């Protein structure tokens, strides 16, 4: 069994799915089922602001329970460590979970995480018993500091949130995988196509988290199914051992030194 372990919770699926921007709650519910995901994120700020009625959240929770999936509340929209910490504490009370996807934005244009505020918030929350999933950049030193603070899972971006650009810096992501072999690494943000998710999994990442690529697709349910299949397939390919690229042609069927007939 090739299970994904998130803070002691074993999972079969390596696709994490967001819940924002779907055409309707019913489409979201169908996408969750089609993707076979076992972790779904929900923005607490959105819930508290009343973006959608309470029936939306209850519908999501009902779908999750039926599928045996887990809720991962997030602090999307926070601009400081203090704000993120307060929101995380509220999420723990509302959803009865120690899991928190920690987001602290430092730039309004790129929505890039603020590494200093993120580390401060992560350190405080871990000391309070939270199991933190920090949304971070692909900077190696920043990621090392988050691990030192007690994070067992890191969620480096592939590209800016919602951009759909895929993996902009494969070298940095490959370096993270090589230098942090024992950390659970999940590519979060920037995934736009199933091929982007496959590339992340083939680099050896443990999972991918995405939202817009499914929510904004022409057929979100079919796209959710596609991502679920591609992530599983690319993971299997990585485990099987991908052949090394060659600089020139190499005959698939060697014939040198063997007799053969023509005609």
Give per-residue pLDDT as tens, 181-218.
999 999 999 999 999 999 999 999 999 999 999 999 99
- Cα within 13 Å of Cα(20), Cβ side: 17
Length of the chain, in residues = 263
Give the model's pLDDT for residue 204: 96
Q: Are 167 and 200 in contact (CB under 8 A)?
A: yes
Please give the Cα distance from 8 to 198 (Å, whole number): 25
Whole-number mean pLDDT of the chain?
A: 91
User: For the structural domain made of 4-240, what CATH number should be given?
Assistant: 3.20.20.70
35 is in an annotated binding site: no
The pTM for the full model equals 0.90
Is 91's pLDDT higher than 70?
Answer: yes
Give the model's pLDDT for residue 6: 97
Positions annotated as catalytic residues are 101
Q: Name the range with the highest mean pLDDT among 59-73, 120-134, 244-258.
A: 120-134
pLDDT band at 253 (very low <50, low <70, confident <90, very high): confident
Per domain, the residue ranges of the chain are 4-240
169 is in an annotated binding site: no
212 is in an annotated binding site: yes
Q: Are 52 and 74 in contact (CB under 8 A)?
A: no
Is 52's pLDDT higher than 60?
Answer: no
Give the model's pLDDT for residue 114: 96
211 is in an annotated binding site: yes
Please give the Cα distance from 208 to 17 (Å, whole number): 9
Please give the Cα distance from 15 to 32 (Å, whole number): 10
Give the model's pLDDT for residue 67: 76
Q: Going by DSSP bridges, is the β-strand pair 9-11/4-6 parallel, antiparallel, or unpaired?
A: antiparallel
CB atoms inside a 10 Å sphere around CB 44? 21
233 is in an annotated binding site: no
Which three-class secondary structure string do you get for the chain? CCCEEECCEEECCCEEECCCCCCCHHHHHHHHHHHCCCEEEEEHHHHHHCCCCHHHHHHHHHHHHHHCCEEEEECCCCCCHHHHHHHHHHHHHHHCCCEEEECCECCCCCCCECHHHHHHHHHHHHHCCCEEEEEECCCHHHHHHHHHCCCCEEEECCCCCCCCCCCCCHHHHHHHHHHCCCCEEEEECCCCCHHHHHHHHHCCCCEEEECHHHHCCCCHHHHHHHHHHHHHHHHHHHHHCCCCCCCCCCCCCCCCCCCCCCC
CB atoms inside a 10 Å sphere around CB 23? 11
For residue 249, with 0-12 CB atoms within 10 Å meaning exposed, 13-18 middle and 19 or more buried, which class applies? exposed
């Amino acid at each position: 069994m090739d299970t994904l372990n998130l803070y002691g919770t074993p999972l079969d699926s390596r696709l994490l799915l967001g819940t924002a921007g779907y055409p309707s709650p019913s489409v979201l519910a169908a996408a969750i089922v089609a993707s076979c995901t076992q972790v779904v994120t929900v923005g607490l700020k959105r819930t508290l602001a009343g973006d959608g009625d309470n029936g939306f959240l209850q519908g999501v929770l009902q779908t999750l329970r039926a599928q045996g999936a887990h809720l991962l509340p997030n602090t999307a929209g926070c601009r400081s460590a203090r704000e993120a910490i307060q929101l995380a504490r509220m999420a723990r009370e509302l959803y009865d979970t120690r899991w928190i996807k920690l987001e602290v934005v430092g730039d309004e244009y790129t929505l890039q995480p603020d590494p200093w505020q993120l580390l401060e918030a992560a350190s405080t929350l871990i000391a309070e018993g939270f199991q933190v999933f920090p949304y971070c950049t692909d900077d190696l030193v920043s990621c090392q500091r988050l691990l030192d603070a007690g994070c067992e899972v890191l969620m480096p971006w592939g590209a800016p949130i919602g951009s759909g650009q895929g993996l902009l810096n494969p070298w940095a992501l490959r370096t993270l995988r090589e230098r942090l072999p024992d950390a659970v690494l999940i590519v979060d943000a920037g995934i736009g196509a199933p091929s982007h998710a496959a590339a992340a999994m083939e680099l050896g990442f443990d999972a991918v988290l995405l939202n817009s690529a499914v929510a904004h697709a022409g057929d979100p349910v079919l796209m959710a199914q596609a991502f679920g299949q591609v992530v599983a397939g690319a993971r299997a390919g990585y485990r099987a051992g991908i052949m090394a690229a060659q600089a020139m042609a190499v005959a698939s069927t060697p014939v040198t030194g063997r007799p053969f007939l023509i005609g």
